[in-house]
Chains A and B, each alone.
Chain A
Amino acid sequence: MIYLTRKCEFSASHYYHSPELSAEENLRLYGKCANLNGHGHNYTLEVTVRGEVDPTNGFVIDLKDLKEIMNREVVETLDHRHLNKEIAEFARRNPTTENIAVYIWRRLEPELKVAKLHRVRVYENHDLFVDFLGEA
């Protein structure tokens, strides 16, 4: 078994809001992220796949294919978007880094056939990231 990781970046805006909470409770729970005008991040995504090395080409996955899948499923979908307003998944669910990682996992997992998706790591910035490994 070998693991391969590829990175890409996307920039998007979002805010956090729970409709069942009052404005004060939202502010207490989410701090500056509760500003309904939104704010943005440069996200870095690390996608790790795992599999056996193909004896013919020496690859665990063709990087061109992985790059194309990540571009189509993540970058073209999320880059320069307002996550709450433009991504249906986040109309009623907060686009937290945790939920973004799960969302990306669900888009990538069915597309990866040769190598299996092992981990999605989403950096909101240099000092905060979330790992999702498909665990229930």
Chain B
Amino acid sequence: MKAYLTKRYWLSASHRLHSEKLTEEQNRATYGKCNNPYGHGHNYAVEVTVGGQIDPASGMICDLGELDCVVAREVLERFDHQNLNCLPEFREAVPTSENLCKTIYQILQPRFRAAHLEKVRLEETSMNSFEYSGGEEGNR
């Protein structure tokens, strides 16, 4: 039987939304307060959803300890308490939550074998959230 398990993690990071492809004026018009020169921060909630068959012996679709380890090592240690603009992942891309969500999915996706990474959902604040499930259009 197939089920989907979602676990929620937290990371705090700062960023500034600024595109080299836009003028100063266009950046201000596009990003508003998010373009302020010294950046600002968020407590991001990262929801990781994995899907797979329920193992009849353990009753689980994946080892929760392993899931926690992978997310801690690959995502939290990389992004928590960092300035996203200073990281190699965002040397080319603006660290919007769209791009952070997609980056987290791409980092995690190859790490799962038994269970399949279905979706990454990122809450920038309680008012806005972003989902990515791979592919150009997304699957779900």
Contact = CB atoms under 8 A, between A and B. Distances in A.
B63 A29 contact: yes
B5 A18 contact: no
Contacts of B138: none
Interface string B30-66: 0000000000000000000000001001111101110
B8 to A, nearest CB: 4
Interface residues of B, number: 18
Given A96-B60, A98-B60, A128 B1 contact: no
A130 B6 contact: yes
B2 interface: yes
Interface in B1-21: 1-9
Contacts of B8: 126-128
Contact of A93 (B2, B3, B59, B61): B59
Contact of A98 (B61, B63, B65): B61
Contacts, number: 62
Contacts of A97: 5
Tell me which of A16, A98, A127, A131 has the highest count of chain B C-beta atoms within 10 A of its own C-beta. Answer: A98
Contact residues on A (Cβ < 8 Å of other chain), bracket? 20 to 34
Contacts of A133: 2, 4
Given A126-B8, A127-B7, A130-B6, A29 B58 contact: yes
B6 A94 contact: no
A129 B1 contact: no
A132 B58 CA distance: 17
A102 B66 CA distance: 23
Contact of B6 (A93, A131, A136): A131
Nearest to A134: B1
Interface of B: 1-9, 54, 57-61, 63-65
Given A102-B3, A130-B4, 10 more contacts: A20-B57, A31-B65, A93-B59, A95-B59, A98-B54, A102-B1, A126-B8, A128-B64, A129-B5, A136-B1
